[in-house]
Structure 1
Amino acid sequence: MNEIPITSIDGFAFGHADNKEAATGCTVVVCENGAKAGVAVRGGSPGTRETDALNPENFVEQVHGVFLAGGSAFGLEAGSGVMNELERKGIGFDVQVTKVPIVPGAILFDLMVGDEKVRPDNDMGQQATRNAFLNVPFLKGNVGAGTGASVGKLLGASYAMKGGVGHYAIKVGELKVGAVVAVNSFGDVIDPATGNLLAGAYDRKQGCFLGSKQVLLEQMNTAKTNRFSGNTTIGVITCNAALSKSEANKLASIAHDGLARTISPSHTFVDGDTLFAMTTNQVNVDLNGLSYLATHVVEQAVIQAVLSAKSDYQLPAYSTIIKEG
């Protein structure tokens, strides 16, 4: 098992676009020739587009891109920009009079970090797609959908830390598997290999983590369930494994274990945690081994997101507190 750049998974193109001043952005994964795809929504407050198309009982067999965006439900407009750019390039489902790109996606809540009136839109979706085709370096951290992402918001913004976008990929023989994840969680981010907290509810004056699980238990009888301070972790698994549509959906579901291992608590009522799975459908593999690898790359992408994040928007990042500590 060797780590590889996610951009080396053949058949996919990856792009970001963002507005740093407004603290929001969009990330796209494009598959020009179409990809089998599935989705699993586990959070209690999702914001998604075109996920019904991925239901195995429905007609369309391939998608041409997936987008991840900030902006809460407003950010779903970025999907139209991805569609428009793909149509311009002649990519999509052939309906004779045109080609209709099938572009599902999901959003996260970042409106409280920057300018809540500026959200990912048609133009930003188009730009992210152009950047993917231009092979603009696909960065990690405060970019794309992770620009305004934050983590550990149990006690509000004054205790939160910077989240971001992470990606990670591996190769085993001919199989390539990767994940892109925008981490914007209600809970803390933990390194499962060590059990150490990497980012989360953080007391800036005392210079210590508060432990969201413990705080949550202490608030059981006093706090309200609706804590919309801005949550949701969303991502895309990309691979070249031969899968049916049903198997792609199951793979996306199993890969949520990668979120559960690294985010505590995860899949809450105020997170919209959503993972997509896309494949170019080329390499026959054991599905159990593939499921393990998909979970692993999601886990590592989450960790990369917070390790790569930089302090900004009055939110400290892992890299800052480690230096200070």
Structure 2
Amino acid sequence: MRRGPTNSLADVEGLRVGHAQRVGDGYRTGVSVVLAPQGGAVAGVDVRGAAPGTRETELLDPRNLVERVHAIVLTGGSAYGLSAACGVMQRLADAGTGFPVEGGVVPIVPGAVIYDLGRGGSFRATPDAAMGAAAYDAALSSPGTLSGGLPSDGAASPPWVNGSVGAGTGAVAGGLAGGVGTVSAVLPSGVTVAALAVVNAAGSVLDPRSGLLSGVRYGLPGEFDHVGEPDTGEYERWSPQKAPSFNTTIGVVATDLTLSKAQCGKLAGVAHDGLARAIRPAHTMVDGDTIFGMSTCGLPGPDDTGLHDVLAAAADVFSRAVAHAVLHATGREGAPAYLDVFPSARSGR
């Protein structure tokens, strides 16, 4: 396998990714939107956490009517943040995109949330419909560049950005700063499999023996050459806060291979294996871990071997996405960046 051109979910042709966030005045939260291509994408979902916050997931059951989704919303704000999907729905409806019904269309917009309430200082400073619409607009705009540090309110971020943006703006992962991570893999067959993870985990993202980020071991050649195991002393001194909290890791894994709704559900399920490889423990009582599987149906459907290869890649890309989310996150009080805690982990030091 090799990385796609941007090493992001946007390498699956037809998908667009947009982020919006707000930091300051009590806010530290945001929204990430994945827009399907014209005509929608087949989708499934797998919910493993015991405290999920979700929207429209029942529609993705293979027994139910709707076959295609038009966007997927990943957001902060816990259950309050689900209102961000309303802004995305409005934008899609205005564009005439949705499930056709008498008199118009109904956009199909499943979503999931992370718990980041109060991390900017105000408990009720959460994403709303306007922030969801801003993330939608960012997905349609031309990619820009991200300056150093946290992006300012409303700043556009390219779809391949990792770190403290979008739904991952206020994320925490095992006491470290969490965030958004995105990667891709192009299989020898030419099929692309990619993931976007919002990492806000109760569990640890570190190998318990060495302090290395667990997801790094699944990297493609050259991908994580800049990071290695930290010095033993640094790791032994690391003592993250153990305050009880609600968390959740959510995300999307997608492919251009034609899959059914049931196969997209399996794609999401296997991606959870990648989540559990990179985060320990996973799927706890205070996590709402939810992953969506998407197929843009750009390539003909697989035989058994092709499907097996895509599923295997789904687990690996999600593990890699978790590692990128933590590696690129911006540290702050109470949630330091990984390389600030373990500066010796920088290769070439």
Task: Report the TM-score, using the length of structure 2 for normalisation.
Answer: 0.81
Superposed CA deviations along residues 103-158 of structure 1, whole A, max 9, x for unmatched, are 00100000131122211110000000010011331221010000000011xxxxxx
Write the distance in 2 (CA, Å) between the matches of 1:258 and 1:276. 13
> Which amino acid is the alignment partner of residue 33 of structure 2?
V
Summarize the Cα distance change of 1:228–1:196 in structure 2 as closer, same or farther, 3 Å threshold: closer
Structure 1 counterpart of 2:154: none
Superposed, 1:10-21 pairs within 5 Å as: 10-21=13-24
Superposed, 1:225-264 pairs within 5 Å as: 229-264=245-280
Superposed, 1:67-146 pairs within 5 Å as: 67-114=73-120, 115-136=122-143, 137-138=158-159, 139-146=161-168
SS of equivalent to 2:62: coil
> Which amino acid is the alignment partner of residue 31 of structure 1?
A
Summarize the Cα distance change of 1:300–1:145 in structure 2 as closer, same or farther, 3 Å threshold: same
Tell me which moved more, 108-117 or 97-106. 108-117
SS of equivalent to 1:190: coil
8 A contact 2:50–2:285 mirrored in 1? yes
Matched, 1:208 2:228: no
8 A contact 1:32–1:91 mirrored in 2? no
Matched, 1:164 2:183: no
SS of equivalent to 1:264: coil
Runs of 4+ off more than 6 Å: none
> Which amino acid is the alignment partner of residue 70 of structure 2?
H
Summarize the Cα distance change of 1:3–1:206 in structure 2 as closer, same or farther, 3 Å threshold: closer
Write the distance in 2 (CA, Å) between the matches of 1:270 and 1:102. 28
Tell me which moved more, 181-190 or 275-284. 275-284
Superposed, 1:8-87 pairs within 5 Å as: 8-21=11-24, 22-33=27-38, 34-87=40-93
Note the residue ranges of structure 1 that are not aligned, 5 or more in a row.
Answer: 153-159, 200-204, 216-226
> Which amino acid is the alignment partner of residue 67 of structure 1?
V
Write the distance in 2 (CA, Å) between the matches of 1:31 and 1:117. 30
SS of equivalent to 1:58: coil
Write the distance in 2 (CA, Å) between the matches of 1:244 and 1:47. 25
8 A contact 2:176–2:326 mirrored in 1? no
Higher strand share: 1
8 A contact 2:198–2:251 mirrored in 1? yes
8 A contact 2:235–2:342 mirrored in 1? no
> Which amino acid is the alignment partner of residue 19 of structure 2?
H
Write the distance in 1 (CA, Å) between the matches of 2:139 and 2:64. 28
> Which amino acid is the alignment partner of residue 274 of structure 1?
T
Task: Report the TM-score, using the length of structure 1 for normalisation.
Answer: 0.87
Matched, 1:305 2:325: yes
Write the distance in 2 (CA, Å) between the matches of 1:311 and 1:168. 22
